[in-house]
Amino acid sequence: MTSIRDALASLWSASDDAKMIQQDKQWYSWGRVRQLAELIDCSLTAIGSAQGSRIGVVVSNRVETVAAIIAILGKGRTLVTLNPMQPPSRLADDIVSAKPSVVVASQSYWDTSEFSTAIDGADIAGLAVDGVDVTCVTRRSSVESVEAAADGEPVAVEMFTSGTTGKPKRIPLSWRQLESAMDAVHEHTGAGRKGREPLTGKAALVTLAIAHIGGMWSVLQSLTEARPFVLLPRFTVDGWVDAVHEHRLAIASLPPAAMRAVLAADVPKERLESLRAVTAGTTFVSPDLADEFTDKYDIPVMIVYGATEFGGAVAGWTRPLVERWWKEKRGSVGKPFPGVDMRTVSPDGVVLPVGETGRLEVSADQVGSGEDRWVRTSDLAHLDDDGFLYIDGRADDAILRGGFKVQPETVCSALRAHPAVHDATVYGKDDERLGQVPIAVVELVPSAEVPAENELREFVRGRLTAYEVPVAIHTVDALPRGASLKVDRRRVLELVAALESARV
């Protein structure tokens, strides 16, 4: 099994002048990343952080984050990811709730009183990391070095995410899970280090935010394979295309929204001529979109299916599968990876026959251990006679927007905080680019002045992550309710349809 710690340790055999990370057209050498990783490690050790200590990192897509990951995981500490897309107040609340021993962030965060005051009050130590500078911002009375564990297993990474199995929660990923997932991907794709000298060979590309399991996985895979990589601060068509063209990439990740952006930009075919395939996941991938991309660029789209709970992908397409089966199995997310078992069950847990739609359950080394290794997801799915997996919908109310899960109640709570709003409901509307987007309908306080839609959107923007902000907010005198006084979703949809029709 791949050992993440051993793989990270092998980086120290690379030449200091070896190119490691490219960002904004600039290469950062292993020597520079190594120096920063060692400074972070020394600072953590000085604070008292040893193996098993939980270290929070605001995981922006920057070189400093990668150095922090090396310093933390390389010494057997636990990485607690903190999402920089949250407003400062939400980020601070997340940190206080997670209670890591130490928080690592850029100085700009520590300069924000809302951030620094909350952490100092929670007795959490802090490091500011910028460039090659590491500064101890705050100290705490003591730092636990007890090894964190879930189900008795040491935890490598904790990712705060909604995942697929319920309400938002912090997902503990054990070392065994991540290492099993890495082996499964290598067996599925045939990739790996294969005797290369560290930090040689073709570069990889990190397209997604590291705060998302897709971005974190790309970084971990590049580090464990000792492969140089391009780190996009955020996705842009030009940045992605330039990386593909410059490094003659054979395979690159391209989520559905990004795929649509590349098509809309009418990128010349010759700029992507090195690609043998693109991988796509994070949210529903329309087969029409996949076909449009393939028809335009003659590049197959390899859809993958996974979740944070699984430590990454657990099913997907390969190029041979696409060539043999795509026309017949169009709409599938591919086949389970080697070592992964899947089944569907009824609401009361009865295993369903092949072909019947039910709640998807997954079993694999990277999912769990012990007698009960089956993890029930919130996805409705079916498997066909040839073992291909089809996702048929969701069993919960969550809205999956571009790979990020939006809980309607979180958005409703933010809207209800407005003085003119009495109550609110939020639902997901199908969207060609993002899979789904949140739509809100609010009921006003009696006699309240009707607020403008932009006013409501700006109001919640300071309380929500960007992807949680509704794309449309409709105002009504009263939300339609059923006998139990719950909001009647069907009548809400009819009401919104009437409102939109009246606008036209």
What is residue 150's predicted lDDT score, i.e. its pLDDT? 45
What mean pLDDT comes out for the span 100-112?
94
Could you tell me if 297 and 171 lie in one domain? Answer: no
Query: Which has the higher per-residue pLDDT, 150 or 356?
Result: 356
Least confident of 123-137, 394-408, 479-493: 479-493
Is 227 a member of any domain?
A: no
- Whether 474 shows a pLDDT value over 70: the answer reads yes
pLDDT at 90 (0 to 100): 83
Are 177 and 240 within one domain? no
pLDDT of residue 195: 67
Q: Which of residues 140, 162, 181 is at a domain's end?
A: 181
In a shared domain, residues 337 and 452: no
* HEC sequence for 319-356: HHHHHHHHHHHCCCCEEECCCCEEEEECCCCCECCCCC
DSSP output for 378-426: EEEEEE-TT--EEEEEESSS-EEETTEEE-HHHHHHHHHTSTTEEEEEE
Can you give the residue range of the structural domain that contains 350?
235-394
CB 422 within 8 A of CB 443: yes
Which 3 state secondary structure label does DSSP give 250?
A: coil
Q: Does 124 map to a domain? A: yes
Q: How many Cα atoms occupy the beta-carbon half-sphere of 464 within 13 Å? A: 27
Q: Is residue 377 part of a domain?
A: yes
**Does residue 351 belong to any structural domain of this protein?**
yes
In angstroms, the Cα distances linking 69 to 135, 143, 144, 157, 223 are 17, 19, 19, 10, 10
CATH code of the domain in which 405 resides: 3.30.300.30
149: pLDDT strictly greater than 50: no
Distance, in Å, from the CA atom of 490 to the CA atom of 497, rounded to the nearest integer, reads: 11
Instruction: Give tens-digit pLDDT for 299-358.
Output: 999 999 987 777 778 899 999 999 999 999 999 999 998 888 999 999 888 999 999 989
**Do 385 and 292 have their domain in common?**
yes
What Cα–Cα distance (Å) separates residue 224 from each residue in 11, 67, 187, 217, 268?
A: 9, 14, 15, 10, 34
Q: Are 487 and 452 in contact (CB under 8 A)?
A: no
pLDDT at residue 78, rounded to an integer = 96
What's the pLDDT score for residue 261? 86
- Kindly state the percentage of the chain with pLDDT values over 90: 55
The yes-or-no verdict on residue 176 having pLDDT over 50 is yes
Percent of the chain with pLDDT over 70: 90
φ/ψ of 215, rounded to 5, equals: -70, -45
Residues 227, 219: Cα–Cα separation, whole Å: 10
- State the Cα–Cα distance between residues 443 and 432, nearest whole angstrom: 29
Strands 229-231 and 251-253: unpaired
Confidence of residue 164 (pLDDT cuts 50, 70, 90): very low
Q: Give yes or no for residue 147 having a pLDDT over 50.
A: no
The mean pLDDT of 387-392, rounded to a whole number, is 92
- Average pLDDT estimate for 144-152: 49
In degrees rounded to 5, what are phi and psi of residue 271? Answer: -70, -20
Convert the pLDDT of each residue in 34-89 to its tens digit: 999 999 999 999 998 999 999 999 999 999 999 999 999 999 999 999 988 888 88
- Min mean pLDDT across 224-238, 276-290, 440-454 is at 276-290
CA–CA separation, 238 and 504 (whole Å): 36
CA distance 480 to 494: 10
pTM for the predicted model, two decimal places: 0.80
Residue 304 to residues 100, 113, 140, 301, 413, Cα–Cα distance (Å): 32, 41, 43, 10, 33
Same domain, 19 and 115: yes
Identify the pLDDT of residue 194: 63
Once rounded to an integer, what is the mean pLDDT over residues 207-215?
A: 88
Whether residue 205 is contained in a domain is answered as no
- Boundary-marking domain end, from 394, 427, 458: 394
| pLDDT for the residue numbered 221 | 92
Q: Compare 377 and 55 and report the one with higher pLDDT.
A: 55
Q: What angle do CA 440, 445, 450 make, to 5 degrees?
A: 65
Listed residues 156, 181, 206: the one ending a domain: 181
Please provide the DSSP assignment of 150-175 as one string.
ETTEEEEEEEEE--SSSSSEEEEEEH
Q: How many CA atoms lie within 13 A of 137 on its CB side?
A: 27
How far apart are the C-alpha atoms of 396 and 335, rounded to whole Å?
24
330, amino acid identity: R
Per-residue three-class SS string for 191-231: CCCCCCCCCCCCCEEECCCCCCHHHHHHHHHHHHCCCCEEE
Q: What confidence score (pLDDT) does residue 373 get?
A: 77
Structural domains counted in the chain: 3
Q: Are residues 35 and 173 in the same domain?
A: yes
pLDDT at 409: 81
Based on the domain organization, do 150 and 242 belong to the same domain?
no
Encoding tokens for residue 6? Answer: 């051993």
| Rounded distance between C-alpha atoms, residue 340 and residue 7, angstroms | 24
Asked if the model's pLDDT at residue 405 lies above 70, the reply is: yes
Rounded-to-integer distance, Cα 57 and Cα 82, Å: 6
Residue 485 has pLDDT above 90, yes or no: no
| pLDDT 10s digits, 231-282 | 999 889 999 999 999 999 999 999 887 888 899 899 999 999 999 999 987 6
386 with 442, same domain: the answer is no
Q: Is residue 230 part of a domain?
A: no
> Hunting for tokens 């890591």 — which residue is that?
100
Could you tell me if 369 and 331 lie in one domain? yes
Which CATH number covers residue 69?
Answer: 3.40.50.12780
CA–chain centroid gap for 471, Å, is 21
Q: What's the token pair of residue 469?
A: 């902000």
Relative orientation angle of helices 113-121 and 88-98, to the nearest 10 degrees: 10
| Assigned domain for 223 exists | no
Mean pLDDT of the chain: 87
pLDDT at 308: 78
Q: Where are the alpha helices (DSSP H) in 225-286?
A: 237-247, 256-264
Q: Running DSSP on this structure, what letter comes out for residue 77? A: P
Instruction: Classify burial at 67, counting beta carbons within 10 Å of its beta carbon; exposed 0-12, middle 13-18, buried 19 or more.
Output: buried
The Cα–Cα gap between 276 and 300 comes to 7
**Burial of residue 134 (number of CB atoms within 10 Å: 0-12, 13-18, 19+):** buried
Average pLDDT over residues 370-385: 83
Q: At what angle are helices 408-416 and 453-461 packed, to 10 degrees? A: 110
Per-residue confidence (pLDDT) for residue 470, from 0 to 100: 96
Whether the CB-CB separation of 465 and 83 falls below 8 Å is answered with yes
Q: Is residue 21 part of a domain?
A: yes
